[in-house]
Amino acid sequence: MNVNTIINNLEAKHPGEKEYLQAVHEVLESIETIYNENPQYEAAKIIERLVEPDRILTFRVSWTDDEGQVHVNLGYRVHFNNAIGPYKGGLRLHPSVNLSILKFLGFEQTFKNALTTLPMGGAKGGSDFNPKGKSDAEIMRFCQAFMLELWRVIGPNTDVPAGDIGTGGREIGYLYGMYKKLQMENTGVLTGKGLNWGGSLIRPEATGFGATYFAKEMLAVNNDTFKGKTVTVSGFGNVAWGVALKVTELGGKVVTISGPDGYIYDEKGLDAEKIDYLLELRASNNDIVSPYADEFPEAKFIPGKKPWEVKCDIAMPSAIQNELNGEDAKKLIANGVQYAAEVSNMGCTPEAIEEFQKAGIPFAPGKAVNAGGVAVSGLEMSQNAMKLNWTTEEVDAKLHHIMSSIHEACIKYGTQSDGYINYVNGANIAGFIKVADAMLDQGII
Ligand code: 2IT
């Protein structure tokens, strides 16, 4: 395999799909050596087969707003790879959604899900629908219209969607209601369900908790802990609040959160009361953070900026792809950052990753760090299949165990001869081997 040849061919076939090409490029670079050392992969054209999704469903979503105006959005579901289990991955509702973004997310999800040790393939879907400022009734009508198309290609053993940016418990509820109406079946067809109708304990906080458990392992490698560490976090969606809660519990101090309007710097750090306030703010369907500074006068709102200019020990980007670039990484390094744990999917640009690695700072990629979310989704599927519920302690212990095993896999496949743990290589190689070997076993399909 030659990475450049494959990327050039893909670029010619899919011009302009920059996020997708970026994600593929990163994985190919990591696996090039192991791929070329194992000729059975090349003989079965594993890479050519793995970089193209199995299939893509694109559809129109028509819905009516509260004033009676009709709107049209695009809906998608990308079935990326089901070599190791049913397609699995979230639904993103955000105006930036396009095919390139969903293909990058589906590709990443394939390796992430393999890392969880659970039997789940990779998928992603969503719409360019913007939930911001929409009423509850509008969200419901949109979700129902979306499911009127999606239901044909999903099922508890086929494809199990979940939440992502813009899709939380409320949206999963409306989607599930319409699926049930159409299919006349109560099954674990979606994860992130409500606790009293098939959901799993810990699923809402799983991505943030899991990310913090992973970062805890990164620190432990250096006999270090979260105690007394200053942490910068971006975003405050489905993921960031779980990070803030768990980091605080482990003795760290989260000093930033952010939204599209800018970031909050809270020198004293977030605590449970402040996190509750943020959750209320978020429930009002608002992703701006400036009101936080009015509520808590010790906090400062810095408009139009990202939190990476703040001095910290650990950076945990938790908002969206490419939110931390090379310049941001340089600022963090100049300010003495010791660890970078990417919680968002592909939150750091290739330039940022290179800066961290050049400086010898442990950097772990989203597909390892944020895998706790989909891992607990997998545990929700297990509970649904068994028709019983595990306790908080049981789910949390399993999540803890899964995050440790992902960290171990990164060490096994990513430790360089100079001792530096290249978590990017580690995660990509471990995920790749599992998926590629399953594909080999199952023949050319
Ligand atoms: O990016 C992700 O891993 C998710 N949005 C969660 C997917 C899932 O199926 O729980």
pLDDT of res. 1: 84
Provide CATH 3.40.50.720 ranges for the chain: 206-361
Q: Which of 74, 73, 102 is nearest to 89 (CA)?
A: 102
Are 320 and 238 in contact by the 8 Å Cβ rule? The answer is no
Sign for the pseudo-dihedral over CA of 341, 344, 350, 351: negative
**Which mutation among 77, 79, 93, 109 tests ligand 1's pocket best, with the greatest number of atoms within 8 A of CB?**
109
pLDDT of res. 285: 60
Are 264 and 301 in contact by the 8 Å Cβ rule? The answer is yes
Instruction: For residues 296 and 395, give the distance between their C-alpha atoms in angstroms, rounded to a whole number.
Output: 34
Collapsing DSSP to helix, strand or coil, 350 comes out as helix
Beta-strand relationship, 299-303 and 262-266:
antiparallel
Whether 124 is catalytic is yes
Of the residues 88, 103, 112, 124, only one is catalytic, namely 124
Output b/e per residue, 279-296; b: 16+ Cβ within 10 A. Answer: eebbeebebebebbbeeb
* Residue with CA nearest ligand 1 atom 3: 374
In DSSP terms, which residues pair with 315 in a beta bridge? Answer: 232, 340
pLDDT of res. 97: 98
User: What topology does CATH give the domain 3-185?
Assistant: Rossmann fold (3.40.50)
* Residue with CA nearest ligand 1 atom 9: 89
Instruction: For residues 63 and 207, give the distance between their C-alpha atoms in angstroms, rounded to a whole number.
Output: 31
Distance 205 CA to ligand 1 centre (A): 12
The tens place of each residue's pLDDT in the chain, 445 residues long, gives 899 999 999 999 999 999 999 999 999 999 999 999 999 999 999 999 999 999 999 999 999 999 999 999 999 999 999 999 999 999 999 999 999 999 999 999 999 999 999 999 999 999 999 999 999 999 999 999 999 999 999 999 999 999 999 999 999 999 999 999 999 999 999 999 999 999 999 999 999 999 999 999 999 999 999 999 999 999 988 899 999 999 999 999 999 999 999 999 999 999 989 999 988 887 776 678 999 999 999 999 999 999 999 999 999 999 999 999 999 999 999 999 999 999 999 999 999 999 999 999 999 999 999 999 999 999 999 999 999 999 999 999 999 999 999 999 999 999 999 999 999 999 999 999 999 999 999 999 9
pLDDT of res. 282: 79
Atom index in ligand 1 nearest the CA of residue 161 equals 9
Distance 320 CA to ligand 1 centre (A): 13
Beta-strand relationship, 55-64 and 70-81:
antiparallel
Residue partners of 94: CB distance under 8 A and separation at least 6: 126, 128, 130, 165, 166, 320
Distance 162 CA to ligand 1 centre (A): 6
Sign for the pseudo-dihedral over CA of 363, 423, 82, 194: negative
204's tokens: 């809402």
Does this model's pTM top 0.75? My answer is yes
Atom index in ligand 1 nearest the CA of residue 203 equals 10
Provide CATH 3.40.50.10860 ranges for the chain: 3-185
Which option is the CATH number for 206-361: 3.40.50.720, 3.90.1310.10, 3.30.830.10, 3.40.470.10? 3.40.50.720
Are 426 and 411 in contact by the 8 Å Cβ rule? The answer is yes
Instruction: For residues 347 and 366, give the distance between their C-alpha atoms in angstroms, rounded to a whole number.
Output: 7
Instruction: For residues 345 and 141, give the distance between their C-alpha atoms in angstroms, rounded to a whole number.
Output: 28
Distance 287 CA to ligand 1 centre (A): 20
